[in-house]
Structure 1
Amino acid sequence: MNIVATDGFALNPGDLNWDEINKLGEVTIYDRTSPDEIVPRCSSAEIVLTNKVAFSRETIDHLPKLRLICVLATGYNIIDTIAAAEKGIIVCNVPDYSSSAVAQHTFAFILEFATQVGLHSTSVHNGDWSRCADFSYSLSPLFEISGKTLGLVGFGNIARKVAEVAQAFGMNVLYHTPSPKNITTARYVSIEELFSESDFVSLHLPLKPDNKEFVNMNLISRMKKTAFFINTARGPLVNEQDLADALNSGIIAGAGIDVLSVEPPPPHNPLLSAKNCFITPHNAWMSKEARERIMETTYKNINSFIKNSPINVVS
């Protein structure tokens, strides 16, 4: 099997290895691949591994030998799965590899808003404590998250893990999905109620054609002025100008963002200069443990395909 990884650096910047996958065929690993390099590099590939390099219908049409696309992630919106299916190409993903990592990242945002560790550490290192007349001080209101309400939009594996952590902290958990789940650990509400009642709103759902920018001023303006918005899902779910306007005008208290509509972001993205907006570079998924799970599952996806028993098929 001729196997090509188009953007292997994100998965393995050097702390993992490709040894098991190398046993499955002739493997070529590219750290990064630009759009105009996809076809030349993958023209002989029977199997392609991709994280964020997109495979459109036009690209797929130019790869006649391609039989399997392994997405090195859970979300597969970068693949035209309809075009792949028409060509008989199987598309596999890696489900549920990052639930713990993304839940941890979600709470990193929540706890930063509540305790302002970074702000106070910087203050101490700048000498403010040494000059202080008192043994203790606070630069911003600190609050406990116990008793606060967390609203989860989506309730898949990641959101369920977030809910578990929230309950350990004593938070109340709301959720919204297209239809209620048979669960007792969180309360189902409408999307409008979720945005209105929550102290923290956190997105955990895939990007689809019908939910692009569904988080807009109409929903954001329903939030409490003391509430915080968190997105570790997909950037295009949010109208970024509306969110920036809400932050700058005090409609909501803050935002924690791990994903943006264009990545890397152009300098003019309005969230880069918005008030009280913490932004991380789409790395909620990047714990070493999570990446090890991706590598292991990708090996299983390829090996199962070779044995004519494909798994984790999304096409």
Structure 2
Amino acid sequence: MEVIAFLDRSTLPGPLRMPALPHEWREYPLTAPSELIERVSEATILISNKVTLSADVLAAAPRLKFVAACATGTNHIDLNVCRERRIPVSNIRDYASDAVPEHVMMMLFVLARNLLAYRSDLQRGAWQRATNFCIASHPIRDLSSMTLAVVGSGSLGRGVARLAKGIGMRVWQVERKGAKAVRDGYVAWDRAIAEADAITLHCPLCADTHNLIGEAEMRAMKPGMLLINTGRGGLIDEVALAEALLAGRIGGAGLDVLHEEPPRRGNPLLDLNLPNLIITPHNAWTSRDAVTRMADQLTANLEAFAAGAPRNCVA
């Protein structure tokens, strides 16, 4: 009989089929650090989306046999400890390969066509007072005339590339920052930063990618560059981005992630009220279809482990 503890069930906004294996199910909407030790102590299987499973926490789970990440990212789990104890860790893959790319394209359309600025005009009565049949007070660009630089070649980056090409955009797959050589089919980092019309980030957050886009990169960008981040907040220097937007050095930004989530201590970007800045609350992945795929895959990972053939293993 497995004891399964889902430590942050509220992070999965949809129904979940119970796994077909003998088990005792324990679920908690959220788990505070002070509650962790007690909740993991009897578990043989842990499920976590964002709850940190550090070495100390894992040490408090002597019966633990399997960890199921309810997400693709696993930087909240001490994988080295899991490897040492031969505890498999599985993650969820490719569940948002439509949802996140569509969110990216939505942000690009809104920014390129200055939708928020025009909505503000209507709210202020500008069209109602206009002498002409239309108002054209803000520039509008066609995405089909733009070059999009894609950072990250996983399922999300590939999904964005597919949609962008479908509307006629020129798409560049970007080589890693600081790479000594440029792979076939890739564009050098410095060239992409300087020449692309838009850039979208789909790479993991690690020591090498922290503040991947900082002040130097924003100064090197075209004045009209559109910057999209649906990856991780730490990929962008948020203070530098706020300054670049206020100074008009880039054309706009669309973010679904911030460095701290939720941003309880504030954020310089949240203080701005600009028509060329879109911030959504890390919900690009939460389409009904994507959540269903995530839930189905989570259950399948649990059942695969119970059958002796764990899948989607990262440790």
TM-score (norm 2): 0.92
> Identity percentage over the alignment?
34
Change (3 A) 1:4 1:306: same
The aligned residue for residue 284 of structure 1 is 284
The aligned residue for residue 247 of structure 1 is 245
Change (3 A) 1:80 1:107: same
Change (3 A) 1:180 1:45: farther
Aligned ranges 1:190-229 → 2 under 5 Å: 190-229=188-227
Question: What are the superposed Cα offsets for residues 250-302 of structure 1, whole Å, 9 maximum, x if unpaired?
Answer: 22121111111110113441221244321111111111111111111111111
Q: Is the 8 A contact 1:155 1:177 kept in 2?
A: no
Cα distance in 2 for partners of 1:126, 1:239 equals 33
In the alignment, structure 1 segments of 5+ residues that lack a partner are: none
Q: Which moved more, 1:273-282 or 1:85-94?
A: 273-282
Aligned ranges 1:257-272 → 2 under 5 Å: 257-272=255-270
Q: Which moved more, 1:115-124 or 1:56-65?
A: 115-124
Aligned ranges 1:34-113 → 2 under 5 Å: 34-113=32-111
Q: Is the 8 A contact 1:101 1:290 kept in 2?
A: yes
Q: Is the 8 A contact 2:16 2:299 kept in 1?
A: no
Q: Is the 8 A contact 2:245 2:251 kept in 1?
A: yes
Shift of 1:22: 7.2
Shift of 1:118: 3.8
The aligned residue for residue 302 of structure 2 is 302
In the alignment, structure 2 segments of 5+ residues that lack a partner are: none
SS in 1 for 2:12: coil
Cα distance in 1 for partners of 2:49, 2:20 equals 18
Q: Is the 8 A contact 1:24 1:303 kept in 2?
A: no
Q: Does 1:9 align with 2:10?
A: yes
Change (3 A) 1:138 1:25: farther
SS in 1 for 2:228: strand
Cα distance in 2 for partners of 1:206, 1:149 equals 23
The aligned residue for residue 235 of structure 1 is 233
Name the amino acid aligned to 2:303. Answer: N
Shift of 1:123: 3.6
The aligned residue for residue 161 of structure 1 is 159
Name the amino acid aligned to 1:5. Answer: F
Shift of 1:18: 2.6
How many residues of Structure 1 are paired with residues of Structure 2 in the alignment?
A: 308
Name the amino acid aligned to 1:66. Answer: L
Shift of 1:139: 3.7
Change (3 A) 1:87 1:235: same
Q: Is the 8 A contact 2:6 2:27 kept in 1?
A: yes
Structure of higher RCO (CA pairs closer than 8 Å, 6+ residues apart): 2
The aligned residue for residue 133 of structure 1 is 131
Shift of 1:93: 0.3
Shift of 1:116: 2.8
Cα distance in 2 for partners of 1:44, 1:139 equals 63
Cα distance in 2 for partners of 1:23, 1:104 equals 36
Q: Is the 8 A contact 1:198 1:227 kept in 2?
A: yes
Q: Which moved more, 1:27-36 or 1:287-296?
A: 27-36
Cα distance in 2 for partners of 1:54, 1:198 equals 37
Question: What are the superposed Cα offsets for residues 147-173 of structure 1, whole Å, 9 maximum, x if unpaired?
Answer: 200001111111111011111111111
Shift of 1:111: 0.4
Cα distance in 2 for partners of 1:75, 1:284 equals 15
Name the amino acid aligned to 2:305. Answer: F
TM-score (norm 1): 0.92
Q: Is the 8 A contact 1:114 1:144 kept in 2?
A: yes
Question: What are the superposed Cα offsets for residues 121-158 of structure 1, whole Å, 9 maximum, x if unpaired?
Answer: 45435543333222211341111111200001111111
